[in-house]
Amino acid sequence: MRIRELGITIGSGTPGAYNAITDVPGVRVGHHTLNVENGDVSIHSGVTVIEPRAGATHLQPCFAGVHVLNGNGDATGLEWIREAGLLTSPIAYTNTHSVGVVRDALVAAERELGKQHTYWCMPVVLETYDGTLNDIWGQHVTAEHVQLALQDARTGPVQEGNVGGGTGMICHEFKGGIGTSSRVLSPEQGGWTVGALVQANYGVREALRVGGYPVGTVLDDVPSPFNSEKNVGVPGMGSIVITIATDAPLLPHQCTRLAQRASVGLARVGGGTEDSSGDIFIAFAVGNSNLPAANFGHPGEPTTALQMVNNDYISALFVAAADAVEEAILNAMLGADDLSGCGNTVLALKPELLLAALQQVGWKAS
């Protein structure tokens, strides 16, 4: 189930064909999911990868920018993006304690792809904490799982909810995970596509808003997975990581500005105010397709011709990014299923429950 299937429209823009980040040309998404209950060990985790240029980013970098709303989280590869404005690898999502192995596996994959063409790589790996449902200390994600996620990368519809890196995640005290959405601008606005992919693992129940309605205030009958007596955490702990992609020809500083607008979409759903949440966002633009790869000792031309979106046209991209992030988070929640692990159970936000809550706070179907 996705939010639009309930008759709830986020914003006024038009989604792409798949209403997913894969509506941006060349972008592919792959998952590998781990779901194992083995005696006392619960393994509910995985890897999600985003390929900006259909697996060829090491040869065709794209401009990118990052924004950290709250730094209670970790990521690799962001400093080079801040410095050079370039994304040169896939982006991966996983759990907090698996960042290292996923990063190393992406290095190995780039080595095989690059051979003599690539001298180094700095993969981007983003994380959120799944230790309430997953044996996070066991570090069960392996290099093989990263390879399987890369092999799974494809365009088209994107699986949401309990999948890949989002398998063990919690959002607003309901089951969370992976979600995605997109917007296509009108020809008068430039005709570009903006897509977002989130790994949602943040938020307190009472703050949850859907389409501007404070549904979290009337959803207190659903048990919270957090219990101080059992020492399984507190409401609001966790994080959210967000990737925004576009085919607009943005320069690096414009990508940074686009990444900042993820904060708007997150705030609309009720996030962005918790000390214990790591809120880290990245945006990349594939609109300039001729950026040279690093090829030390064999440099190409000294300059590269570029295009740039004029600032008079960039507001529509900001609106699209905020709307896509907002809808992606809601899709992550509605796409999820109930999950039990590590002695805890997290219930999903059921469509009928959400509709009842919306009606209770004044929403009426159009």
pLDDT (tens digit, 9 = 90+) per residue, 281-328? 999 999 998 898 876 666 778 899 999 999 999 999 999 999 999 999
pTM above 0.75, yes or no: yes
Residue matched to tokens 């259909």: 54
**Active site (annotated) includes residue 182:** no
Catalytic residue selected from 152, 239, 247, 263: 239
228 as an active site residue: the answer is no
Reported as a pLDDT band with limits 50, 70 and 90, residue 56 is: confident
Cα–chain center distance at 173:
18
pLDDT in tens, 131-144: 999 999 999 999 99
Phi/psi for 346 (5° steps) reads -120, 125
Does 63 have pLDDT greater than 80?
yes
pLDDT band at 116 (very low <50, low <70, confident <90, very high): low
pLDDT of residue 296: 66
Amino acid letter, 343: G
Catalytic residue among 182, 263, 277, 323: 277
Residues 172-194, mean pLDDT to the nearest whole number:
98
For residues 294 and 292, what is the distance between their CA atoms, to the nearest angstrom?
7
- Judged by DSSP in three states, 75 sits in strand
Edge-to-edge strand ranges of the sheet holding 28-38 = 28-38, 41-51, 91-95, 124-128, 75-76
Asked whether residue 158 carries a pLDDT value surpassing 70, the answer given is yes
User: Phi and psi of 118, rounded to 5°?
Assistant: -125, 125
Q: Scanning the structure block, which residue is given the tokens 């994107």?
A: 158
Q: How does residue 39 score in pLDDT terms, banded at 50, 70 and 90?
A: confident
Q: HSE of 238 in the Cβ direction (CA atoms, 13 Å)?
A: 32
Residue 279 is a catalytic residue? yes
The whole-angstrom separation of Cα 314 and Cα 311 is 5
pLDDT of residue 81 exceeding 60, the answer is yes
Higher pLDDT, 297 or 356: 356
> What tens digit of pLDDT does each residue of 195-234 get?
999 999 999 999 999 999 999 999 989 999 997 666 678 9
By residue count, the chain amounts to 366
Residue 117 confidence class, pLDDT cut points 50, 70, 90? low
Residue in 152, 247, 279, 323 annotated catalytic: 279
Mean pLDDT of 331-348: 96
Cβ proximity of 166 and 48 under 8 Å: yes
Averaged confidence pLDDT in the chain: 94
Q: Which of 314, 301, 212, 296 is nearest to 255 (CA)?
A: 314
Residue 298, pLDDT score: 66
Cα 189 to Cα 18: distance, rounded to the nearest angstrom: 21
H or E stretch covering 181: strand 177-184
pLDDT of 123 higher than 90: yes
